[in-house]
Amino acid sequence: MGPDPIAISHLTEVEFFSALSKKVRTGRLTSQMAEMINIKFSEHVDSDMFNLLFPNVKHYRIASNWLQGFNTPLRALDAIHLAISYEENMPLVTADRQLHDSAEKIGIESTLLQE
pLDDT score of 1 more than 50: no
pLDDT, position 69 = 86
pLDDT, position 115 = 61
What does the pLDDT average to over 92-106? 91
* Phi, psi for residue 112 in degrees, rounded to 5: -95, 120
- Give the three-state DSSP class for 69: coil
This prediction's pTM = 0.81
6 band by pLDDT with thresholds 50, 70 and 90: confident
pLDDT digits (tens, 9 = 90+) for 40-96: 999 998 988 888 899 999 999 999 999 998 888 889 999 999 999 999 999 999 989
DSSP state of 110: E
